């Protein structure tokens, strides 16, 4: 198997202070590999968002190590962490986080702008990302003119436009009806099939498990079970020795 795009080893995280201290993560090992869709499932408060934040270099672990595309994050300052995020990681959130005063295309271009990419080339990349989520007809639409499912597709386009190795999505379907939720997971699964890119999705919707290659179950800050989904057609082919 290829080297992981994201790897957590023995990660613990204490949040809050004094009497309010919470052991949100208690020694977590998790590897996200390119070409795979992994789900992180667990009850509310089990540490899912905390783990995603640590893997995404938004939060430093209290102990343990995180590697991003082989780069250690230990002792990395805020600027280095921001650089690793910018170069390697795309985020998707439950509530889309789009700028209401920017069109779909402009929201995506903004993600390139913060990386120093402007002009015609950036515009072309943004339009290409929108096409990949099936929204070429919404280039000039504002978030308020789009459904929740469409807004989340714009957010996915924004996450993939810089071609990151890891996509981290925190309950991306939680605000959507079942049909739109399934459509979003289908898009994320397609993105994960691209070699060299891994997608990690936090959810507590078990209907989404058919899309996953692997499911990590988290409870009370610990991974309690890892399920391999050998039933996915791609995995059956791989098991039979056929090229993926």
Which residues share a beta bridge with 203?
41
In the sheet that holds 71-72, the strands lie side by side as 22-33, 4-15, 63-68, 71-72
- Catalogue the E-assigned strands of the chain: 4-15, 22-33, 37-41, 63-68, 71-72, 89-93, 166-170, 198-203, 214-219, 222-228
Find the shortest distance in angstroms from Cβ 27 to Mg ion: 19
By beta-carbon proximity to ligand ADP, the closer residue of 42 and 61 is 42
Options 31, 38, 50, 162; binder of ligand ADP; rule CB under 6 A = 50
Minimal CA–CA distance to 84: which of 159, 6, 143?
6
Residue 47 interacts with ligand ADP (CB under 6 A): yes or no:
yes
Positions in 165-194 near ligand ADP (CB under 6 A): none
Find the shortest distance in angstroms from Cβ 196 to ligand ADP: 28
Options 7, 33, 48, 154; binder of ligand ADP; rule CB under 6 A = 48
CA distance 153 to 7: 27
Find the shortest distance in angstroms from Cβ 45 to Mg ion: 8
Contact (CB, 8 A) for 213 and 228: yes
Q: Give the total residue count for the chain.
A: 244
Residue 109 interacts with Mg ion (CB under 5 A): yes or no:
no
Contact (CB, 8 A) for 64 and 27: yes
**Tokens for 18?**
């004094």
Number of residues counted as binding ligand ADP (CB under 6 A): 12
Find the shortest distance in angstroms from Cβ 54 to Mg ion: 13
Options 49, 151, 173, 203; binder of Mg ion; rule CB under 5 A = 49
Residue 44 interacts with ligand ADP (CB under 6 A): yes or no:
yes
The residue whose two tokens read 């919404």 is 138
Residue 203 interacts with ligand ADP (CB under 6 A): yes or no:
no
Contact positions vs ligand ADP (CB under 6 A): 15-16, 22, 24, 42, 44-50
Binding site for Mg ion (CB under 5 A): 48-49
């Amino acid at each position: 198997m290829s080297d992981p795009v994201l790897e957590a080893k023995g990660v613990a995280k204490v949040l809050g202070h004094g009497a309010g201290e919470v052991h949100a993560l208690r020694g977590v090992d998790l590897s996200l590999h390119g070409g795979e869709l992994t789900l992180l499932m667990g009850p509310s408060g089990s540490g899912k968002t905390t783990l995603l934040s640590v893997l995404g270099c938004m939060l430093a672990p209290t102990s343990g190590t995180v590697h991003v595309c082989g780069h250690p994050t230990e002792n990395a300052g805020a600027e280095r962490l921001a650089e690793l995020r910018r170069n390697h990681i795309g985020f998707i959130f439950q509530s889309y986080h789009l700028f209401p005063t920017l069109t779909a295309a402009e929201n995506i271009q903004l993600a390139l702008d913060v990386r120093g990419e402007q002009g015609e080339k950036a515009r072309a990349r943004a339009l290409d990302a929108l096409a990949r989520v099936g929204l070429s007809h919404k280039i000039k639409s504002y978030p308020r003119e789009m459904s929740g499912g469409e807004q989340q597709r714009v957010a996915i386009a924004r996450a993939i436009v810089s071609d990151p190795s890891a996509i981290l999505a925190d309950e991306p379907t939680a605000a959507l009806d079942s049909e739109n939720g399934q459509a979003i997971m289908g898009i994320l699964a397609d993105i994960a099939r691209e070699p060299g890119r891994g997608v990690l999705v936090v959810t507590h919707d078990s209907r989404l498990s058919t899309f996953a290659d692997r499911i990590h179950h988290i409870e009370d800050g610990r991974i309690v079970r890892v399920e391999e989904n050998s039933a996915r057609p791609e995995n059956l082919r791989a098991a039979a020795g056929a090229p993926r």
